[in-house]
Structures are given as C-alpha cells and as structure tokens.
Amino acid sequence: MSIAAVSSFVIWFISATIRMATPLVLATIGETFAERAGILNLGIEGTMLMGALTGFLVTYFTKSLWLGVLMAAVVGLLFGLLMAFFAVTLGVNQHVSGLGITIFATGLAYYTYRAVIGSPTVPPSIKAFSTLKIPLLWKIPVLGPIFFNQYALTYIAFLLVPLSSYVIFKTTFGLSLRAVGENPESADAVGINVYKIRYISMIIAGTLMGVAGSFFTLCEFNMFLYNIVGGRGWVAIALVIFANWMPWKVLGGALFFGGIDVLGLRLQSSAIKIPYQIYLMLPYLFTIIVLILVARNASYPAALLKPYRRE
C-alpha cells in the first residue's frame, strides 16, 4: 500500500471517529452531570431519540437547522425535568423511572413521526448541516481536514469537554454538585440545597441529551430512521462509568468507541470474517469488566441512586 493510501485512510478514519464520537460526547457529558449529582438517568436513550425527532421535524417544517437544534435542546430539557421529578421530588426508584421514561419517549418519538409524516415509500429528508471549515486552519496538511472540517455541533461538543471540566472542578456549583452526589447529608449540613442542585444537573443533562439526539438527524443523516440512535444512549451509561465520571476521560472513551463504530461500519462492507457486531458489543463488555474491577472501590458518586429525603 502506498503512503498516500495509508495517510488518506488515517485522515478519513480519525476525522470520521471525531464525527461519530460527537453524540456520545454530548450525551455522556450530560449523564456525567446527572450521575455526579446522584441520579442514574436510564431515560437517556429515549431522550436522545426525542431530540433526534424534534430536531428533524422542526427543521423539516421551518427549514432552520439551528432552530431544530434549539428545539431538540428544549425537548431534552423537558425530559430531564421529568426524570428529576421522579428521582428528586418523588424520590422513587431511579432505575425503573428512567426505563419508564425511555419506553415512553421512544414510543412517543416513533408515534409522533408516524402521525406527522405517515409512512411514505421515500422517507422525507432535510438539507442537513454541512461541515464547517474553520478558515485558514482547515488548510493545514493532515491536521486540517481531520480537526478543522467538522460539523458545528462537533466543535461545540468538543469545547464542552474543557468547559464541563471547569464547571465541575472550578466553580462553586461544581463543588456543591460533587458534594451532593457523594454525601447529600454533609452538603445539606453546610447549607446546600440538595434538591436544587439535582434539578439543575438534570436540566443540563437533558438539554445535552436532546442536542446529542439531534446530531443524528441533522448532521449524520438527513432523515429520521428507525433505531437511528442505535443504542448510543446505553453506551453513554456505560461510558460514564468507564470514564470514572471525568469529562476528559469521557472524551477519550467516546473517541475510542467512536473509532470502533467507524471500524465496524467499514468492516461490515468488507470481506473480513469477524462479524461487526463483535465491535458493537465491545463498549458494553468493557464496561462490565470495569464495573467488576471497581465494585469494591466505589468511585461511584456514593449517593448515586439514593433519593434524599430530610427526615
């Protein structure tokens, strides 16, 4: 193989990886905020699907991509609030309420699409986002096409990583967030409003999940398809644990699994014998292994899954 062929493969691969990782980064950062506050949000897959649907429908009717993203964010926020209501205000079982939200949101997404669009032989499409070339930078050989010719949402997602790291570790909100997820009694004892912090984190989480969903319909594809989120929400749940609830590790993990996704798709259309589903399985397998290893040494936010009620 020639150097040119190898280098063009590498450029394509890394660039595609970054692209594929975008929704994972967004959704997982969102889930990180939720879990650091003590809430395991199993509603993420459904929320993302609703984000995908909302983004698509709004753009389809208003022809505005950014309005689509905005409304996807709003819908995601609402589902985040719904989860907060069950987990914080009602304080009921988080696993079951999260699953209920995913079942509801998933059903609602397909229901709404079918009701509004019907089932035409050719599914309607929109004019999706095109990549945003950063002026000058994108012309740099090799690095240019990889890093500086991506979707706007991708740039946002990646900027979100240092931003969320800053918020979590360098702000008063972030400090309170970490305290609440670890030991809400201690946080309460120093005057922090545990409920408020949890609600805010769910709002952040839901919004990011909604935007993550919109990436599928407004960037990756230009239509709304069945199973378009493809389990990325569940991967995010796995990824948060894998990344030890740290934004930079989330980035690393998302890129890793994004890369596997890309490879898998590539292999699907090649003659290689290994079924690509093996690759799809890897995030889940790795996470279970990580869970086994950390089980005793809980790096889990200690208050995860426990509703807080003042006695």
Positions in 141-200 near other proteins (CB under 8 A) = 170-176, 178-179, 182-183, 185-187, 189-192, 195-196, 199-200
Instruction: Report residue 254 as tokens.
Output: 């998302």
Nearer to other proteins, 153 or 209 (CB): 209
Distance CA 65, CA 60 (A): 9
Instruction: Report residue 118 as tokens.
Output: 């019907």
Candidate list 7, 8, 107, 162; residue touching other proteins; CB under 8 A = 107
Provide the β-strand partners of residue 150: 132
The answer to whether the Cα torsion of 227, 231, 236, 239 is positive or negative is: negative
What separation in angstroms does the CA of 244 have from each of 32, 67, 78, 98, 238?
9, 34, 27, 21, 10
49 is a contact residue toward other proteins (CB under 8 A): no
Nearer to other proteins, 5 or 298 (CB): 298
309 is a contact residue toward other proteins (CB under 8 A): yes
Nearer to other proteins, 15 or 97 (CB): 97
Distance CA 171, CA 259 (A): 33
Q: Measured from the CB of residue 239, what is the shortest distance to other proteins in angstroms?
A: 11
Determine phi and psi for 276, rounding to 5 degrees: -70, -15
Candidate list 99, 132, 263, 267; residue touching other proteins; CB under 8 A = 99
Candidate list 89, 125, 140, 272; residue touching other proteins; CB under 8 A = 89
241 is a contact residue toward other proteins (CB under 8 A): yes
Q: Site for other proteins (CB under 8 A): how many residues?
A: 72
For the chain, give the number of residues: 311
